[in-house]
Chain A
Amino acid sequence: MTPKRRRRRQEAFLPYLLMAPALVLLAGILYPFSVGIYYSFTSYWLQYPKRFRFVWFDNYISLFEEALFDRALQFTLGFTVAAVILQVGLGLAVALFLHGRIPGRAVLRALMLLPLMIPPVITALMWKIMMASTNAGIINYLLSFLGLGPVNWFGSPWGAIASVLIIDTWGNLPFVALILLGALQALPTEPYEAARVDGASPAAMLRYITLPLLSPFLILAGTFRAMDSLRVFDVIYATTMGGPNDATTNLHIMAYQFAFQWYQIGKGMAQAVVLLILVVLVSYLLLRLWNRASERTVQ
């Protein structure tokens, strides 16, 4: 072998060599994961190890017969739709607002990072303190000035749903707002100048220039939020634990309960796989939409 050829062969192996440490870690992660997928086809129950056997799709079929699964699926999807609409809508409003000439804009922008970057479970605990359902809770006290309440935040089904939604929105609204603000600041100025010459109103410019140009970013922000809302866990765990009466039990919490409260590993994994498929499906559809929207704006 000539030295040159040997060198070329080394070059061919080099990328794999460079990736070797990460691939070892990847294998270490994928091994338990694939074992987990296998368990979803078995009757693995930690308390009854002797009953372990391969049951094909029994876990998946039994899920769809479970009344709670139906409700958890409904809550998962309903929560996701509500959270995405609320957060993208308000995020757009905040981004448009901060894009204007606002006193103290830089300070507001920096402060908005704080809810975004602190641990979600800590956010949940902060709001748990504020949403105490007695009159000692500050939120109910403030609402009383508006003639509202007192709301039984975590004790009533709708109160619990609302509180999880509010807490999730407080933590993630800045994410959407910052993406959209960045996009707004990078928009081309020519269309606006042309529209101004034509005497277009600000509302018309928003409707016919800003929103179409912004649409890929709206969809992308919505995709990220949908992915996370489908599997929201920390906030629910720290506040309602899925209650009251399972009103805030989503697929993630339900899978957790199956696996770690009742030790039904097989059923818990089947739930996890269903949730994973749901996340992949929704992200795939939204990313396709995003692709189409970005192609349209480039044209």
Chain B
Amino acid sequence: MTPRRSLVHIGTALAAAALLFWTVFPFLWILLTSLKSPGDIISVPPTFIFTPTLDNYAALVIGEQRGQYSSTRPDFPNYFLNSIIISGGAVLLSLAAGIPSAYALARFDFPLKGALAFTFMSFRFVPFIAFVIPLYLVYQQLGLYNTYSGLILAYQLITLPFTIWMLRSFFQEIPLEIQEAAKIDGCTWFGVLTRVILPLSMPGLAVTIILGFIFCWNAFNYPLMLAGRQTFPVTVGAIQFISYEQVLWGQMAAATLVSALPQLILSLMVQKYIVRGLTMGAVK
């Protein structure tokens, strides 16, 4: 090998190492922090070698007072459950409303089609605060503030346009001939949807469900304003470790990892489709 080529190789390896470090190091450091006792966390300089402890995770789950590991936020398991309920409910509602809509937009021609599709897409442009201020006022009046159903409805702003656009793009990929053949065999529109379109777009459906769930799980600003202590999801829950008196660094580190864990697993399941999902089907 010529010296010049080996220099290129070394440069490539260094760049790969730098990219790896930049991507992974924050996770490693937070993992280490979550395993440290309060004394180790504030040590100067930061230590890489220490006696690991699971106390931060225990405080997260049990939330009891344990000497200096007092957790002021004992209901993190509850927040986790809230995240599952709200995200799951929002995805289900979006599917129920979104599947027939996506079918209509993918397979029928009707006068308002373009306008309706665009209206749903246009939510992507609105800053959340423009929705959340009036929602906050309406929810106070209707008793939807700090309820699961209120949050599931608000989360439709995240999942419904996404579900409709994603499913529409998947439905459109199914060849028209199959649908026509089913019609000749006597299938009604309902038969076409349930026996042809849905079975053939199962992968697309799975991707839409998983990505929709991820986006709901990531939501922070809607629940920040519309949820209360009983309905906080993990994203709002994690920020509660910062109080005026102190920041519970160790427990916050443990909480961030626990909050991110479902995302880490789910996103690896749908990695091929993530760009498509994030651009609402604009980039495949």
Bound-state Cα–Cα, A113 to B101, Å: 30
Across the interface, B133 reaches (CB within 8 A) one of A36, A116, A175, namely: A36
Interface residues contributed by chain A, number (CB under 8 Å): 87
B217 at the interface (CB under 8 A from A): yes
Residues of B within 8 A of A15 (CB): 104, 108, 110, 113
Q: Is the CB of B220 within 8 A of A110?
A: no
B1 at the interface (CB under 8 A from A): no
Interface residues contributed by chain B, number (CB under 8 Å): 86
Q: Is the CB of B15 within 8 A of A97?
A: yes
Bound-state Cα–Cα, A255 to B120, Å: 24
**Residues 8-25 of B contacting A (Cβ, < 8 Å):** 12-13, 15-16, 19-20, 22-24
Contact A129 to B249, CB < 8 A, known contacts A33-B134, A233-B128 = yes
Across the interface, B260 reaches (CB within 8 A) one of A31, A122, A275, namely: A122
Bound-state Cα–Cα, A174 to B278, Å: 12
Nearest CB to that of A275 among chain B residues? B127
Nearest CB to that of B239 among chain A residues? A238
Interface residue SS majority, chain A: helix
A69 at the interface (CB under 8 A from B): no
Contact A22 to B238, CB < 8 A, known contacts A125-B256, A227-B125 = no
Residues of A within 8 A of B231 (CB): none
**Residues 59-91 of A contacting B (Cβ, < 8 Å):** none
Across the interface, A22 reaches (CB within 8 A) one of B101, B125, B133, B221, namely: B101
Q: With A217-B283, A234-B220 given, name 10 new contacts (CB 8 A).
A: A14-B104, A15-B110, A21-B96, A111-B24, A113-B268, A115-B26, A136-B41, A136-B46, A233-B127, A275-B127
Residue contacts A-B, CB under 8 angstroms, 28 given: A14-B189, A15-B110, A15-B113, A19-B101, A19-B116, A21-B97, A22-B97, A22-B98, A23-B116, A31-B138, A32-B137, A32-B138, A111-B24, A117-B264, A117-B267, A118-B264, A122-B259, A126-B256, A129-B29, A129-B256, A130-B26, A130-B30, A135-B45, A137-B46, A141-B46, A238-B239, A255-B133, A279-B126
Interface residues of B (CB under 8 A from A): 12-13, 15-16, 19-20, 22-24, 26-27, 29-30, 33, 41-46, 93, 96-98, 100-101, 103-105, 108, 110, 113, 116, 119-120, 123-131, 133-138, 153, 156-157, 160, 164, 189, 214, 217-221, 224-225, 234-235, 238-239, 249, 252-253, 256, 259-260, 263-264, 266-268, 271, 274-275, 278-279, 282-283
